[in-house]
A and B are shown apart, each in its own frame.
Chain A
Amino acid sequence: MIHERQVIIIGSGPAGLTAALYAARANLSPLVIEGVEAGGQLMLTTMVENWPGFRDGIMGPELMAELRAQALRFGAEIIQGDVASVDVSSRPFTLNVSGKTFHARSLILATGASAKWLDLGVDKQLSGRGVSTCATCDGFFFKGRRVAVVGGGDTALEEAIYLAKLATEVTVIHRRDTLRASKVMQDKAMATENITFIWNTEVTDIKDLAKGEVTSLVLKNNQTGVASELPVDGVFIAIGHTPNTSLVRGQVELEDNGYVKTHRGSRTSVPGVFAAGDVQDHIYRQAVTAAGSGCMAAIDAERYLSGTGH
């Protein structure tokens, strides 16, 4: 007889680990599968100032370590592995993880979202050669150099403010003439001396692929059509995220924008499959809302398993 799990959770960010915590406390012995980006986006941040209960803030990686320990304490099992495929067309659901097969009666998708690239091709080719999506990881290499940040949201300004402490000049390039970022972040960035803004402008090319390093950005003003070149040593891309849905594409219903469609809490189009966190949320995208939806998914899964939900 095959060993069948009550619930398997894919992903170990705030959503996945909170789901694990609640499922463990409900005696569901959850199995969490964490991938190469274990801990999620908070692992790449520094101080998190908006997680309730920590008035002085908490470091992102530390918060994730605490969440992980808390889930483990109540009996969640966490394994590292790459989920190669998921089959929710028959029951129990089947998962292929690093060559091993797992079966589960219910599934919580908490695979999160990954940073978007510019879609220039060259940006990915120069990744780690001056193009980055993580200022706290790579900012170190741009001490005393000139950098650009592409984007206009909270993440873009956070990156810019962080980089301003290391780089000589930080240029924020935004395709609109107003920022999407919160007022607090805007004020902070505007007050930082070595941050400047270029509005209504898009990056059309990054040089110099032949040299294997970033030397400049080719820009185009989307109002006037005028092209220009900005010499920089590095560029940080912060233009948003794409949900990690490749495992379930074609199996559960997605929104037009690619996010997993949920209804009545965390339920997806497949009974027994639940979604939490950034994989299903393109509006709030906060650590605390991800955690909240992880809790909802665990409760929804528990009710589904006991036959009282869905």
Chain B
Amino acid sequence: MASDKVKTVTDGDFGESTKSGLVLVDFWAEWCAPCRRLSPTVEQLAEDYNGRLTVAKMNVDENPVTPPNFMIRGIPTLLLFKDGDLKETVVGLADKADLVRMIDKHL
């Protein structure tokens, strides 16, 4: 992973990882080309918001429990949590400027 500021989350620690503060979770898989395309943007957000936003990735191949809980039927999907509550859902590719606007609303 290009940025060490992006945390890897799993079914096991998902609840714990998202329960406080602002957390952006990127659901992805190796075989998903648009996910690879979105990755640099997500990593950039982790750098830009260092300390104010936790950026995490979840591999949907390795974690079968969490994606269905949020009815994820397509990736990439970004979920934004604030203190454990789901605030925003972004499906598919997204422009960095749009994501910045979305995150800033909840800071």
Contacts and interface: CB of A to CB of B under 8 A. Distances in A.
A212 B86 CA distance: 15
B74 A132 contact: yes
B74 A212 contact: no
B37 A234 contact: no
Given A127-B91, A127-B92, A36 B37 contact: yes
B84 interface: no
A129 interface: yes
Chain B CB within 10 Å, residue with most, of A129, A130, A212: A129
Contacts of A138: 73-75
A222 B96 CA distance: 43
A213 B91 CA distance: 14
Contact of B74 (A36, A60, A61, A127): A127
Contacts of B23: none
Interface SS of chain B: helix, strand, loop or mixed? loop
- Category for how many chain A residues contact B: 20 to 34
Interface stretch (B2-10, B11-19, B27-35, B48-56): B27-35
A246 interface: no
B33 A44 contact: yes
A38 B37 contact: yes
Interface string A133-171: 010111011100000000000000000000000000000
A132 B92 CA distance: 10
A236 to B, nearest CB: 10
A213 B34 contact: no
B95 interface: yes
A132 B33 contact: no
Contacts of B60: 140
B71 interface: yes
Interface string A30-52: 00000011110001100000000
B73 A43 contact: no
Given A36-B93, A37-B93, A129 B33 contact: no
Nearest to A61: B33
B32 A137 contact: yes
Contacts of A141: 67, 72-74
8 contacts: A36-B95, A60-B33, A127-B91, A128-B73, A128-B74, A128-B77, A136-B33, A141-B74
Given A36-B37, A129-B73, A141-B67, 11 more contacts: A36-B94, A37-B93, A39-B33, A43-B37, A61-B33, A127-B74, A127-B92, A136-B31, A136-B33, A138-B74, A140-B61
